[in-house]
Amino acid sequence: MGPANKERSRSPNHKMMPAIPSPQPKTWKIGAPQSSTDGCVKTFALSSAGVDVTLCMQGCLSQFEPSALNDNSRKTLTLRLPIVWDGTFETLEDEVVKLAAKNSAELFGTTFTEEALGDRYKAITQKKGEYPRQLRAKIVQDGFYACRYWSSTKQRIEPLTTHSGEIFNVALKIRGIWVSAENFGLVCELTDLQTSEAAACPF
């Protein structure tokens, strides 16, 4: 096993975990842009204090299977978040718009107000009525950057063949900001999924 594989086999790097439970967009540093192959979308890398922006969350319910156009290996997984994260992500969505407005000349090539960017922002979470907030994030299923899977006892396991109905502890990496001619949003990727065993019935 080479050095790269050894690195991938370890449990999530604690240096990548945030020191506080909620992300702080006002501390994020925006990196140089990279353009998509067709040139229609630019992606600006994000970091905080020199490391990747990563959140760890417990008890996230996957109600559906990962989905993607053309059945490629980079899919979208929708997770129902525990109520404790509701306020955090509501604040995050607002702060991302503020960050984009502050750096709008760099991101969009012209200056925008927060009000103008509010309609352009494609949020990574949705909250409908009294239902729990849902997060949509990418999950890579093949290759070096494939999502890593862990058992409830913190052992590396093979990727699950089904996700629907599973409850996961997750590591979510906010990789950057994508910008197109009309919209912008966050590039989010699930790097680790840990299965969570339900408590045994006491009766």
What pLDDT sits at residue 3?
44
6-11, Cβ contacts within 8 angstroms, sequence gap of 24 or more = 8/144, 8/148, 9/156, 11/150, 11/154, 11/156
pLDDT of 200 reads: 52
78 in Cβ contact with 63 (< 8 Å)? yes
Taking the complete model, does pTM exceed 0.85, yes or no?
A: no
Per-position pLDDT tens, the chain of length 203:
444 444 444 444 434 444 345 788 999 999 999 999 888 999 999 999 999 999 999 999 999 999 988 778 899 999 999 999 999 999 999 999 999 999 999 999 999 999 999 999 999 999 999 899 999 999 999 999 999 999 999 999 999 999 999 999 999 999 999 999 999 999 999 999 999 865 555 55
Q: Where are the domains of the chain?
A: 3-9+36-195
Phi, psi of 88 (to 5 degrees): -60, -45
CA 141, distance to chain mean position in Å, is: 15
* Distance set, CA 127 to CA 63, 80, 124, 183 (Å): 15, 10, 10, 20
CATH number of 3-9+36-195: 2.40.50
Task: Give residue 6's pLDDT.
Answer: 40
Residue 146's CB is within 10 A of a number of other CB atoms, namely 15
Write down the pLDDT at residue 118: 95
CA distance linking residue 126 with residue 134, whole number of Å? 5
